[in-house]
Amino acid sequence: MKVNSLKFQNFRNLDDAEIFPCDGVNIIYGDNAQGKTNIIEALWLFCGGHSFRTANAREMIKWGTDFSRLECEFYGQEREQNASLGFSATKKNVKINGVEKRSSSALIEKFCAVVFSPENLSLIKRGPGERRNFIDSAICREKLKNAVMLSKYNRLIAQRNALLKDVLRNPALESTLDIWDDQIIMSGARLLKQRLEFVNMITQKAAVYHSGISKNKEELELKYISSVGAEYSNSVKEIEEKMRSKYSTNRQNEIACGVTLAGPHRDDVEVIINGKNAKSFASQGQQRSAVLSLKLAEAAVLREKMGEEPVILLDDVLSELDNSRQDYLLNELEGCQVFITCCEKSNKEQLKQGKVFLVNNGKISEEEN
């Protein structure tokens, strides 16, 4: 997949403009707070209409205006395509190849990208929820039906938790839990199987990328920790049986606590560098390298699943990386289109081949490389 052009109108602080990136590495540089990340955000919006920075559409509309519009020409699924995304504070309008769509989710199976932003460092630093979200985001962009499945599972868990609290007050309701368990086990086992397949695929690829970024000085491993004891080799049926057994064992404790204690919503992925837990022992630079490796591996998995290379969006990725790790990202990622934001002039000078865009107070200009 390649972005041929990106057009902005009333988007954040950016001047109305159109840019034409190259097929390889595109550096977007400038001082802080000039609008570099806004370009990355605009591209990411074509993955499903959701920002990685805010849930408030009003924040993405230029001050003093009441709407914003983005247009993207891209090559994907073996043909030239186009998409437009217009939005106000209360409404979105999406068109793909000139056809208006009911929801921005229609973009999911048309435009594929992987994004890294400084907020992604919480993938290692924070709790299991961050790592579950990383996996779920990837599998949902692979197939729209996975997003529907995840939404259904989360809704069922919320309803079951509400029932557990009611059972504590009214024990006669306990028999109705079986009905909810059947539904949750059916959707939860399928969700868990998708996660296990993804983690199994990403593990080896992340190790290769991390070895390259660290110049063979570090080994990266991933370990999926299932609260129901599911393993990579398990079938959906076997996972269902494990979930059913765990729910039966946990029932009285769950009634006492008022929450569902096992299932995909309680799982975790352990990130290990050189045999040690990265959350506890890795430096800031090592953690950044590990997250980058996971993101690049995510792109590789999506390529295998979807049959084409995702666009790679890297926001403020080069800070806290030494020169050799920066060089790997700028010059050794082959076969994919990359967008990288940075502040240092020296970073653009490291680039051997590609395009450079300067962003100054919202104005975008292309520079000679």
pLDDT of residue 277: 92
17 token code pair: 């403009």
pLDDT tens digits, one per residue of 55-79? 888 999 999 999 999 999 999 989 9
* For residues 2-11, average pLDDT: 96
Q: Where are the domains of the chain?
A: 1-112+308-369, 119-306
Q: Positive or negative, the Cα torsion across 276, 277, 281, 284?
A: positive
pLDDT tens digits, one per residue of 189-208? 999 999 999 999 999 999 99
pLDDT of residue 335: 81
- Phi, psi for 344 (deg, rounded to 5): -85, 130
CATH architecture of 1-112+308-369: 3-Layer(aba) Sandwich (3.40)
Buried b (16+ CB within 10 A) or exposed e, 61-85: bbeeeeebbbbbbbebeeeebebbb
pLDDT of residue 146 exceeding 70, the answer is yes
Name the CATH superfamily housing domain 119-306.
RecF/RecN/SMC, N-terminal domain (1.20.1050.90)
DSSP class of 11:
B
pLDDT of residue 336: 87
* pLDDT band (50, 70, 90) for residue 369: low
pLDDT of residue 241: 97
DSSP class of 275:
T
* For residues 86-102, average pLDDT: 91
pLDDT of residue 332 exceeding 80, the answer is no
pLDDT of residue 174 exceeding 80, the answer is yes
Among candidate residues 2, 60, 50, the one with its CA nearest the CA of residue 26: 2
Q: What percent of the chain has pLDDT over 70?
A: 99
* For residues 131-157, average pLDDT: 90
What does pTM read for this prediction? 0.81
pLDDT of residue 344 exceeding 80, the answer is no
Find the range with the poorest average confidence among 37-46, 160-169, 312-321, 355-364: 312-321
* For residues 15-31, average pLDDT: 94
pLDDT of residue 188 exceeding 70, the answer is yes
* pLDDT band (50, 70, 90) for residue 239: very high
* For residues 312-317, average pLDDT: 89
CA dist., res. 71 & res. 359, Å (int): 19
Cα atoms in the 13 Å half-sphere on the side-chain side of 90: 0
Render 65-111 in DSSP notation, one character per residue: -S-EEEEEEEEETTEEEEEEEEE-SS-EEEEETTEEES-GGGGTTT-
Find the range with the poorest average confidence among 116-125, 160-169, 176-185, 233-242: 116-125
- Phi, psi for 94 (deg, rounded to 5): -125, 130
Distances (CA, A) of 214 to 114, 240, 261, 315: 21, 40, 38, 20
pLDDT of residue 303: 86
Q: What is the mean pLDDT of the chain?
A: 91
pLDDT of residue 60: 94
Cα atoms in the 13 Å half-sphere on the side-chain side of 212: 20
pLDDT of residue 348 exceeding 80, the answer is no
pLDDT of residue 317: 81
- Across the beta sheet with 268-273, the strand order is 220-225, 268-273, 276-277
pLDDT of residue 320 exceeding 80, the answer is no
Find the range with the poorest average confidence among 20-34, 157-171, 310-324: 310-324
Q: What percent of the chain has pLDDT over 90?
A: 62
* For residues 261-273, average pLDDT: 96
